[in-house]
């Protein structure tokens, strides 16, 4: 059985093709520049050369059509026939308070997601268009929505409410929602497995650090707080997003310039964060090079990003009381020892002791590592996330009637013997490039 997963952004559509019986990724890729004159698809199939093709994709429907055509292409594809695809899982960013778990898409689900689009105007419309476009191309298979916000619906009201007029919550749905839910689900379950503990007895702080970044406090296996809020703008310093600021800055800038609220909002989302500080860089690799060259802005940007992470680590340690592990994940969390080193320094008072030599070696998206010292009370793991696998397993379980909310559901990757075959095949290359990496790989108990 083959399951297709789609992650449609405002101008892109990522996909993965998964063979359920073989437990292997058959192919993946992305269509970029949707809505422009010419879009591009980049496709990767194990054992074949990377494939690229240009085509006009004015909407996500054409992008999905291009993905399907690429998947079944006799030379460059990975599926012999369209009939092989038995289900499609779709990432949806915002489910508001309406969804506490993944769901099979029907007309009522589409209607609800449309009603919630005001809460995620850059994401939900694209997600919905991707779903309806895929339904037109694959009308005879179930389509499932996997929602970023569902994981966070266990937060207590003292954590998700803002100290604003209560009517803003009841009339306009203003509250903390949180995002990166599928990533948190995967890494929380994996961390519990690595610790040899029941997930529902495990307390973890997870830092999902990428161009978009957030953190999550997990108590007894469920989310109790997270750094992103009503939108993905709140919280950590990100590639182009400001994260936490004094809200009075917004009217101050409006009154001091000729900008309106929409212009300021665009700057906070698109021209702030690391880009705003350095005025030229988003990629942490560029910033790391700038730090090595004593670029003062790059040094400031790196210090600010890591300092904000450290502040949330301290806050969430207080929230949880007992912390079993801290987890770093996503592109930067997995691949930037520099960011981790500064964020984790001088935390012995809360039981965190990091081996900086281990940390420097941990730079791989194909293995799970432990970078804390042997006597650290709190373990520190680097766990490559796998949102697509969560989407795939939810989709399979939904179509088979075996799915339930994650506290009542067991994923394949919770098994101590679980192996990601694609990562296992790619790991030897990392081991050659990073001497010592093999010594910090952690195995599940």
Residue where the block lists tokens 């054409």: 62
Residue where the block lists tokens 């009308």: 139
DSSP code of 378?
B
Q: Which residues contact 52 (CB under 8 A, 6 or more apart)?
A: 40, 41, 42, 43
Q: Which helix (H) or strand (E) holds 102?
A: none
Runs of H (alpha helix) within 244-401 = 249-256, 261-270, 273-278, 284-292, 296-320, 330-335, 337-344, 356-361, 387-400
Q: Provide the 10 A C-beta neighbour count for residue 288.
A: 17
The half-sphere exposure of 44 on its side-chain side, counting CA atoms within 13 A, is 9
Q: Which residues contact 116 (CB under 8 A, 6 or more apart)?
A: 94, 95, 96, 98, 124
* Residue in 286, 280, 325, 288 with CA at minimum distance from that of residue 306: 288
Cα–Cα distance measured from residue 178 to residue 223, given in angstroms and rounded to the nearest whole number = 10
Q: Provide the 10 A C-beta neighbour count for residue 426.
A: 15
Report residue 272 CA to chain centroid gap: 20
Please check whether residue 141 is in contact with residue 163, taking contact to mean a CB–CB distance below 8 angstroms: no
DSSP code of 66?
H
180 conformational bin, left if phi > 0, alpha if psi -120 to 50, beta if neither: left
* Residue in 76, 35, 74, 78 with CA at minimum distance from that of residue 57: 35
Farthest-apart Cα atoms in the chain, separation: 61
Q: Which of 19, 81, 148, 225 is catalytic?
A: 148
- Is 148 an active-site residue? yes
Q: Provide the 10 A C-beta neighbour count for residue 169.
A: 15
71's tokens: 């998947």
- The residues assigned a catalytic role are 148
């Amino acid at each position: 059985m083959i399951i297709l997963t789609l992650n449609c952004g405002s101008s892109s559509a990522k996909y993965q093709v998964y063979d359920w019986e073989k437990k292997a990724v058959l192919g993946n890729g992305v269509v970029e520049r949707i809505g422009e004159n010419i879009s591009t698809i980049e496709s990767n199939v194990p054992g074949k050369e990377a494939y690229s093709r240009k085509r006009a994709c004015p909407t996500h429907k054409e992008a999905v059509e291009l993905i399907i055509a690429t998947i079944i292409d006799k030379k460059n594809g990975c599926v012999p026939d369209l009939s092989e695809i038995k289900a499609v899982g779709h990432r949806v960013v915002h489910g508001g308070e309406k969804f506490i778990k993944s769901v099979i898409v029907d007309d009522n689900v589409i209607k609800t997601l449309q009603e919630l689009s005001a809460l995620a105007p850059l994401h939900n419309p694209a997600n919905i268009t991707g779903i309806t476009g895929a339904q037109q191309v694959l009308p005879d298979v179930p389509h499932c929505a996997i929602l970023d916000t569902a994981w966070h619906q266990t937060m207590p009201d003292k954590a998700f409410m803002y100290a604003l007029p209560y009517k803003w919550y009841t009339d306009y749905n203003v509250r903390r929602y949180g995002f990166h839910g599928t990533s948190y689900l995967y890494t929380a379950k994996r961390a519990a497995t690595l610790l040899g503990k029941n997930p529902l007895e495990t307390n973890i702080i997870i830092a999902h650090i990428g161009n978009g970044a957030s953190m999550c406090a997990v108590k007894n296996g469920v989310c109790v707080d997270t750094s992103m809020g009503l939108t993905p703008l709140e919280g950590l310093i990100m590639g182009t997003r400001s994260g936490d600021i004094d809200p009075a800055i917004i009217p101050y800038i409006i009154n001091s310039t000729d900008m309106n609220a929409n212009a300021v909002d665009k700057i906070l989302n698109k021209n702030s964060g690391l880009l705003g500080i350095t005025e030229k860089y988003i990629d942490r690799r560029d910033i790391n090079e700038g730090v090595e060259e004593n670029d003062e802005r790059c040094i400031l940007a790196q210090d600010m990003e890591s300092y904000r992470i450290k502040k949330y680590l301290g806050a969430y340690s207080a929230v949880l009381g007992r912390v079993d592990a801290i987890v770093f994940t996503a592109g930067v969390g997995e691949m930037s020892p520099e960011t981790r080193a500064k964020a984790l320094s001088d935390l012995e008072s809360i039981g965190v002791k990091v081996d900086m030599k281990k940390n420097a070696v941990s730079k791989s998206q194909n293995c799970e590592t432990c970078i804390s010292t042997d006597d650290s009370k709190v373990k520190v793991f680097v766990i490559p996330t796998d949102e697509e696998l969560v989407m795939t397993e939810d989709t399979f379980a939904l179509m088979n009637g075996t799915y339930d909310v994650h506290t009542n559901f067991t994923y394949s990757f919770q098994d101590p013997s679980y192996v990601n075959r694609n990562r296992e095949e790619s790991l030897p290359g990392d081991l050659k490039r990073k001497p010592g990496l093999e010594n910090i790989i952690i195995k599940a108990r």
